Chains A and B, each alone.
Chain A
């Protein structure tokens, strides 16, 4: 794992890393990936990729509406609201 990959991963995860963190994580993540790479030694040519860790399928519910949260409750965890909408810093509209 090189420095660029760590920086891109941080960007995608919206994490702001300091210079020393970039160095530290590059090192740590490389170690991690090297360790996991042991798995590459197993021959998986005839193995179907696993879609889910549990051997269960078809968990479905009936199409019945249930009560939603009151608006005040829905908004209660948000850092900023006007009591009706969630408010977020302005999103640029391109054009």
Chain B
């Protein structure tokens, strides 16, 4: 007997719009100022009317297209009815039978396993609820409700039960998050709840006689970190196997329903929750306050044409254009669109992809980590770094000198681009870092040094290779920008004469 874990994910993504989905309240994470971003519409006051945010719908369609979904030419809005204090209207505006997109897929690279294609059942647009805060002390005090988030746009992306392990789920989520970053659809900040996940998990148990049994499906909610998703999947797989071995209960048995469990991140366990009302009890009905949206095939095509380059395409293009390893390309592309753009500019400016990749993934990345900032806040612009590296590529300065300039630029903090270029030249000038290509000057110094060190020259002639080191050092001290290789070559030639 062996078993397979079967996982489907429902991911909720907050859209990066300026205003809420159906009203003009600002769409901003602002827990420090509760209940300051509300109006009659999002408070559900009688007589108020929702109006759809064009940008929210456009971002949704872009995401649907990027997930290879069919985009519906006719889509409408439905009321999902339930009572909870964070939902003052007592219904959530969502999409039920006619979501704006359906039947797509996303491909993700799973470590040590290759590319996994994950089917997308549907993506639909809905409004978020507010936030309840409970009395954690057990003192039974009132719960607090903040409605700042109520009515903000939320995209729900539902996969087929195609995932077979925690690693596959993680790979899917990583790629989804990256795609949304490239599309500019969401910042996917999990601390701020911009990306939340529910996982449907069960096991297929394969008997030695070829039989297959499915365990009851469990939906784990409250997964607000990718780590949590992975842990919850592994925990559930073990728990369900134990229960199956104990009770033999399986999907389809009388009285077996889908179970909803919560995730306790502190104890790393799932726990039973009161089962929610059955789907039919949400009493979905078309929202009479909102009219449908229609799109022509041409309009959908127009949005498709305007889409940005996706991470997968960018990986492919980078590895071809800059002759980089798959590993280097992934490191760069997976940092997000801004970082990849930065790299691309550096590479274009210096004309050497490998050089640009090394600097971006090492020197730049190290600084970003130390400062805990994103590339957008990095003091050295892409053009400046590219220009600096171009000098290394053209053999005008050494890599070591470039590091010196880089360090000084870092200390001078944010500089505007043209000033940065002038500053690079100035540092090179002041420190005498320019490789002296004027062989006349270099030759003079080499001859002077040799003349003062006849004994060392003799030692070298008699076969002591190491003797030349101090001579190179002396020349380099005299001519700072000299290339050690050139100096060495010149010394050997002159000693040989």
| A interface residue numbers (CB < 8 A to B) | 12, 14, 51-54, 56-71, 74-75, 77, 80, 82, 84-91, 93-95
Interface residues of B in 19-66 (CB under 8 A from A): 19, 24-27, 33-40, 43, 45, 51-57
Complex-state Cα separation, A52 to B52, whole angstroms: 15
Interface range for B:
35 or more
Checking A54, A64, A75, A84 against B291 with a beta-carbon cut-off of 8 angstroms, the contacting residue is A54
Nearest Cβ on chain B to A47's Cβ, whole angstroms? 15
Q: How far is the CA of A95 from the CA of B265 in the complex (A)?
A: 12
| Chain B residues in 8 Å Cβ range of A70 | 36
Known: A60-B52, A63-B55, A87-B144. A94 touches B25 (CB 8 A): no
The 10 closest A-B pairs by CB, nearest first: A66-B24, A63-B55, A85-B144, A86-B145, A60-B54, A87-B142, A65-B26, A88-B85, A65-B19, A51-B76
Is A63 touching B54 in the complex (CB atoms < 8 A)? yes
- Which residues in B have their C-beta under 8 angstroms from that of A58? 291, 293-294
- Asked whether B324 is an interface residue with its Cβ less than 8 Å from the other chain, the reply is no
Known: A66-B19, A94-B273. A71 touches B36 (CB 8 A): yes
Q: Are B291 and A56 in contact (CB under 8 A)?
A: yes
Residue B281 CB within 8 A of the other chain = yes
User: With A62-B54, A65-B19, A90-B135 in contact, do A57 and B145 touch (Cβ < 8 Å)?
Assistant: no
A53 to B51, CA, bound (A): 17
- Also in contact, A51 and B292, with CB within 8 A (given A61-B52, A65-B24): yes
The answer on a CB contact under 8 Å between B85 and A90 is: no
Is B277 touching A12 in the complex (CB atoms < 8 A)?
yes
**Binary per-residue interface labels of chain B (284-303) against chain A in the complex, 1 for a CB within 8 Å, 0 otherwise:** 00101011111000000000
A53 to B257, CA, bound (A): 37
B135 → A minimal CB distance (Å): 6
- Asked if B51 contacts A59 (CB within 8 A), the reply is yes
Task: List 22 A–B pairs whose Cβ atoms lie within 8 Å, in order of A's numbering.
Answer: A12-B81, A14-B83, A51-B74, A52-B291, A54-B291, A57-B292, A64-B18, A65-B19, A66-B25, A69-B38, A74-B38, A80-B142, A84-B35, A85-B35, A89-B143, A90-B135, A90-B143, A91-B85, A94-B262, A94-B274, A95-B262, A95-B264
